[in-house]
Structure formats: structure tokens, C-alpha cells
Amino acid sequence: MKKIALVTGAGSGIGKACAHALLKDGWQVIFVGRRADVLQAAIAASPDAANGIAMPADLSNEAEVKALFDAVKAKFGRLDLLFNNAGISLPYTLPGDLAGDDWRRMVDINLSGAFYCLSAAFKLMQTQSPQGGRIINNGSISAHVPRPGSIAYAATKHAVSGLTRAASLDGRAFGIAVGQIDIGNVTSDMTAKMTHGVPQADGSIKPEPCMDISAVVDTFMGMARLPLSANVLFTTVMATGMPFVGRG
């Protein structure tokens, strides 16, 4: 019997790459994002597309998330893995210049959306038979230290770490393993600017090293393949040369 995984933000980037790895590994994978056409294209790009299904949803909308997980339960009867990956970022903005609407949009997607999905997955895993499952939250290196001009992103990613710790504790009684992967500088269209220069803690603009997305996929799959008797609570995968540790 195939294990069932749900990946949010599965239309591109890290979500798409990890969803493809799950498909290759023999999982039934639910691709979740806002746009059905993007999700369908992401599934079609995999040689194992027959085991992928698109379920579009606005994850900042609690009712849509509930409907999504109700549909998962109705179709598959259970969920073995949630990769809580969807999120957004904003351009460099100082705290005094950040608009309330942008703050709320960031919180709605990066924090509330992550909670809605975690909550719904937790309930399904708690009540299904056999009980249990795994939830992996996509944090960020910003869950440890912020970049300049990123107060909303840093705040939401710090909060995601709180979700991980609390849900990991609450999941013990039900065989639900909750962990977090914190990622730094993956080569993608979104991070192309890092090779040209990004703001540093000392006020300078410098290029930063990036790593191939395969390093993230390998780390994620190591977590996903663990038996439920074991859990990676937090792990960090990053470009070796990026300025994460040090005095900035």
C-alpha cells in the first residue's frame, strides 16, 4: 500500500523538487498550491506522474485548508506525511517602512497557513488507523538569525519553530513525528540575486554562495524515510560558504 504525502508550495522550487523525489520513492503525492495549471505542470514534469494529484487551495484561507484535508481523507483515508513548505518573502524593508498589509499577508501565508495545514494534518493523523504520521515544516536560516530588512519574514519563521516544538511535544502520544528543515541559499530563480550581491549585517552588499537544490532534497528525504520511532526535530542544510555563523 502506497504511503500518502501532501506537499504545499509544490508547483515550483523546493516543494516541486521534494514532491518529485517522493514520487520517485514510490509515494502517492498530493501537490498543493494556488494554481491548478502550475500544479499539473509540476506533476507532468515527473516520470512518475501517475502517482501525483493536484489539489489547489489558498492556504491562508482556513476554510479552504479544511476542505483540502477533508478531500484527502475522503479520497485516501489517511495521510502519512505533510511537507509544510509554502511561503513567501518580501523585498528589503526597514521596520518603519513595512506596511501593515504586507505584514498581514506574510503572517497569513507563512504562519497562519502553516498552522492551518499542521492542525488539519495532526487531526487526521491522530484519528486515522493505524494512527500516526510525520509533519516536516520548512523553516529557514531566518528562523535562527534574520537578514537585514526582513522583519516580517524573520518573525514568521521564528514562529514556525514554535509550531514545530509544540506540535512535536503534543504528537508524542499519537505517533506523530514533527520536525523542521532550515534551509540556506539554494540555487533557484528566486535566489539568483544572491550571486550578484545581497545586504549584509555590516551594511555592505556582497554575493553569497548557493548550493544545488539536490542537497535539500537529499536532506528532506532522509527525514521522510525515517520510521516514526525516530525524528529529526531540527536540521539545517546550507551552502557551506554562506555567512550564517560568525560575527557579521
Q: Which CATH number does the domain housing residue 217 bear?
A: 3.40.50.720
Note whether residue 90 is domain-resident. Answer: yes
Spans in the chain with pLDDT lower than 70: 188-195, 247-248
Residue 87 is predicted with a pLDDT of 95
Residue 225 is predicted with a pLDDT of 98
Note whether residue 174 is domain-resident. Answer: yes
Q: Is 153 noted as a catalytic residue in this protein? A: yes
Note whether residue 243 is domain-resident. Answer: no
Cell of 43: 506533476
Q: Which of 27, 69, 115, 153 is catalytic?
A: 153
Decide if 84 contacts 114 (C-beta within 8 A).
Answer: yes
Residue 194 is predicted with a pLDDT of 67
- Name the CA radius of gyration of the chain, rounded: 18
Q: Alpha-carbon distance 183 to 176, whole Å?
A: 23
Number of domains in the chain: 1
Note whether residue 18 is domain-resident. Answer: yes
Note whether residue 187 is domain-resident. Answer: yes
* DSSP structure class, residue 211: B
Note whether residue 95 is domain-resident. Answer: yes
Residue with cell 494512527: 131
Note whether residue 245 is domain-resident. Answer: no
Note whether residue 205 is domain-resident. Answer: yes
Cell of 143: 528562523
SS3 (DSSP) at 83: strand
Its domain, for residue 45, covers 4-238
pTM (predicted TM-score) = 0.94
Q: Tell me how far apart the terminal alpha carbons of the chain are, to the nearest angstrom.
A: 50
How many degrees, rounded to 5, is the angle at CA 34 between CA 23 and CA 16?
25
Residue 187 is predicted with a pLDDT of 83
Q: Alpha-carbon distance 211 to 198, whole Å?
A: 16
Residue 185 is predicted with a pLDDT of 87
Residue 31 dihedral angles phi and psi, to the nearest 5°: -90, 125
